[in-house]
Structure 1
Amino acid sequence: MNYVNGQFVVLPQILAMDQLKIKYTDLMVYISVRSFNGWQGCYPSYETIAKRAHCSRSYVIESLNRLEQACFIEVERSEKKKESNKYRFPKFHNFEHIPYSFFKLGVELTIYERSMLLCLRQILRYHGKGMSIMTITDIAKRLGLSYRQVYKPLTSLIDKGYVVYKRERSGKTYTLADKFEWIFDYTKPKPSFGTLKVA
């Protein structure tokens, strides 16, 4: 996929997912669809979305239904079999900038790991270095997920070098590694990554 350096996809702040009745992997489907967005919406096929989101066609259909019900996406369904649906996106005041290079992350990352990176980035945006110490249970609660849903992909991201884990006096620290460069940093004037402290 070709992209201009600095170009990004908008991801609205999506927390408390249990209340919204969406899954955290829906974030990956959302940015995949939105990456095709133009002035008048976009028309990617289910197969094209699935390829970019690293999931199955059937999962894309289920995910789009959840995102539509939660009002994160508007779907105009095509009446013709071989034509794609049209997708439009409501405006949001709070959102994250996801670089197009996010879609080029290593093939070793699953949709669960990619989606957890998106979740962690959203939390770090609003807390940065000055946030209070949180447990994985606290993070899960903020996201509207279970402890297991957070723990498993987080551990895998540490093993693959996308998250750095350190044990400090104040607690455990999880930092987004420089293996991937986010466009916008909310804690420092130069490109770097926020830190999430976990007790």
Structure 2
Amino acid sequence: MKRLALILSFSSVFFLLVACGNSSEEDSSFEETPEVEDEDTNEEENSSDQGASTDEDSLPSNEDMDNEDVDSSEESAEADPLADYSEQEIEYARVWLEVGSTDDPGTLNVNRVSAGTPINTMIDSPPTYNEDVIMLTGEAGAMGIVVYSGNGDGTINHYSKVTYRWENPAGLSDDELRAEYEEILEHTEHVEIDTHNDDDVIRIIEQIEYQD
């Protein structure tokens, strides 16, 4: 009996040792897991940092953007020779080329005439322009005059009967002249303005002088 009890006692001790050993291995495995997670986390952070760095490297710098703007402006100027001129200057030149008496006015005088300005002050109570108009004249009176108002759509209202110098060879009275001037102001020609050759437009623009 004593021998049996001794065997049972050794068996119990053996099982206890085995159980403690397994428990220690399990604890050890659980302790190693966070290290693996930390490694995964570090890899994700490194990957994220690399991605952000790549995105930043791919973005254009302010200097690159400025250079692109300059290149774009130069290309635009080359594509459009009239880019350096105002819309008004281009309009004056095109209108003169369309309805002016000569392609070379020498000097293109531009005079802005306000609504209410008399068409001719040589008679009493003369008719007046009922809108703002532009008056274009060449260097010499013989080159004629162009009086018009723009419509903003490539067309103008041309006061085709207005002359550079008013004359009265028929000896008409003031009332008769007044009626004639009224008719001139009321009957304008609707003219479509061609774009014309850019070189000709630039040549005329460079001859423009503004009158007070």
TM-score over 0.5 for the pair: no
More relative contact order in 1 or in 2 (CA 8 Å, sep 6+)?
A: 1
> Who wins on radius of gyration, i.e. which is larger?
2
Q: Normalization by structure 1: what TM-score?
A: 0.19
> So what's the TM-score if we normalise by structure 2?
0.18
